[in-house]
Structure formats: structure tokens, C-alpha cells
Structure 1
Amino acid sequence: MVGSTVDDVGRDLAVFRRVTADLRPSGNEIFEGGRVVSCDVGQIAASVTAMQTTPVRSALVRFDPGARTRLHTHAGDQILIVTEGQGHVGRPGRNLRVEVGDVVVVPAGLLHYHGAGRDMPMAHLTVLFGVGTELADGHPHWPPAEGEDS
């Protein structure tokens, strides 16, 4: 599956931003003591449901400024929850800036990267369904660091 793009797998990166989420007042009886707002995040629920019999790995990962992953794929879906700083997540042809509170869903088989920006650390909690991460041959240092030529 190395070398897959969004066209190959039919799904793309999805980023859910806390600042633009369609939060609405919740009428759920579990809440008390004040107003609570929420919204459904269907892609996360769909990933978890689809992978419910698959082994799950999770980790908190902190990137120093300028540090990032190499371009790679995973055998199962990955969920990233940004817990510190600002950084980037993307795939060939698409680079997205992420910050604290953003949640990213990376579909299985999608060639992608993630990491900190040039001047600020970034940390994320990763939940990875299944086993298997493959580095992309021929693209060991893609994308270029901020400020480098592509």
C-alpha cells in the first residue's frame, strides 16, 4: 500500500477544529450544572467501529521545532489529537496546519506525514488501529521543512 494517495483509498485526511466545530446545546440527561454544547464527529466513530476487532496502539508524541515524520502509510486508520503547540499534517499535494484541540483522521493506506512547525514544538496523542507502518520509498524527506524548496 506504500505510495497510495487519496484517489487510491477513496478517503482523505479529515481535520476537526475545536474553534469551528458545529457545537450545539446538548439535551443529554448525563450533563448537569450548566450549559453543555457538543457535536458528532462521524469519521472518528466510523473509524473506531470499522476497526473494533483490530489491535490498537496509542502514544503521546512530542516533536521539537522542525521535527516531523517521514512520508509513510499505516495498515489501519490513525487518529491524531493535537495536545500542544502548532504543526502540520498532510499528504502529497495537501499540507494542513494544525493546533491544540484539532483532531485529525488519517485513513488506512494514505501516504502522509505529521510534525511540528519550524519555530514551535507540537505534541499529539496518536491512536493507531492495526499494526504496520511503512516508509515511502523515494520520498525519505518529503515534505521539505518550512522554508526549504519542494
Structure 2
Amino acid sequence: MKVVRRGEQPAQRGTTFTGEVTLERLLEAQQPGGVSVARVTFRDGARTHWHTHPGEQVLVILEGRGIVGNEREQVEVQPGDLVYTSPGEKHWHGAAPGQTMVHLSITTVGPAEWYGPVEQPPIDTAPDQQ
């Protein structure tokens, strides 16, 4: 058994993001092809670059509002939502404009393959004006 306490892992900033993003690698794979878990915080519209995973990825939205997208669609997500990405699916994810979003990223098999930044702006998720 392994227990990882919050704050034990240092937060990192990566080069595969647009905007302010911090990443805490909570658990590295303990065996080949095993599970990795990271807590990722996206601030004010920050997002990942396009990427794929060799295995599966599950995102569990913990806080805020975000957007996930692939080559066909963009979808708004909120706390309690779960996003599944199949192996090799090209996608991105991040905070909605003006929002902070925190998710757990759970992956299998190995590290992502990264591509360029998301060129199109994310969907407008501002609340309706009443």
C-alpha cells in the first residue's frame, strides 16, 4: 500500500500548456503500464496543448468550470463530471474563460505525446445575460 498526502509532491509548471497551469504528480506508475495520477490546476482559461495518450485517460473534475475538446467537439465540464479519453484520441482540456478548474488526471500505459497549442479559442461559457 502507498499513501500520498496532499502537498507531499511539489507543484510543477510545464511547457505544454497555454496560460497558468500547475501540476502535482501524485502517483507515478508503480509498474510497467500502471496507473499515474496528477492533480492539475488551470487558471482563467488556461489549457493543455493538443495531446494523445498511449493508454486510457480519465479526468475527474474537482473544482470550477472547464472545457474539454477533441477534433470534433468541445464540451463544458463542472465538478463531479468525469471525462474518458480512449488511447490515441487527440484532445485538450482546461479552464473556461474567467474560471479556474482543477481536475485529477488518471492515465495508464505511459506519458502523453504532445502537439502544438490549441489554435481555436475555447467556446464562450459565460453565463447568459438576464
Q: TM-score interval w.r.t. the shorter chain?
A: 0.5 to 0.7
8 Å CA contact 1:70–1:142 kept in 2: the answer is no
Q: Which among 30, 33, 36 is matched to residue 57 of structure 1?
A: 36
Aligned residue pairs total 94
Q: Are 2:96 and 1:117 aligned? A: yes
For the residues of structure 1 that align with 2:73 and 2:123, how far apart are their CA atoms? 14
Q: What's the Cα RMSD here?
A: 1.8
The secondary structure found in structure 2 opposite 1:76 is coil
Q: Are 2:117 and 1:140 aligned? A: yes
Bigger Rg, structure 1 or 2: 1
Q: Name segments (4+ residues, structure 1) moved above 3 Å.
A: none
| Letter in structure 2 aligned against 1:107 | S
Residues 92-124 of structure 1 deviation map (CA, whole Å, 9 limit, x = unaligned): 120010000001111010000000011110000
Residues 36-115 of structure 1: pairs in structure 2 closer than 5 A: 54-115=33-94
Q: Which runs of 5+ in 1 are unaligned?
A: 1-52
Q: How high is the TM-score relative to the length of structure 1?
A: 0.58
8 Å CA contact 1:71–1:143 kept in 2: the answer is no
Identity %: 37
Shift of 1:145: 4.1
The secondary structure found in structure 2 opposite 1:55 is strand
For the residues of structure 2 that align with 1:132 and 1:75, how far apart are their CA atoms? 7
Residues 2-41 of structure 1: pairs in structure 2 closer than 5 A: none
| Letter in structure 2 aligned against 1:71 | W
Larger fraction in strand = 2
Shift of 1:135: 1.5
Q: How high is the TM-score relative to the length of structure 2?
A: 0.66
Larger fraction in helix = 1
| Letter in structure 2 aligned against 1:116 | A
Q: Which runs of 5+ in 2 are unaligned?
A: 1-31, 125-130
The answer to which structure, 1 or 2, has the higher relative contact order (CA under 8 A, 6+ apart) is 1
| Letter in structure 1 aligned against 2:114 | L
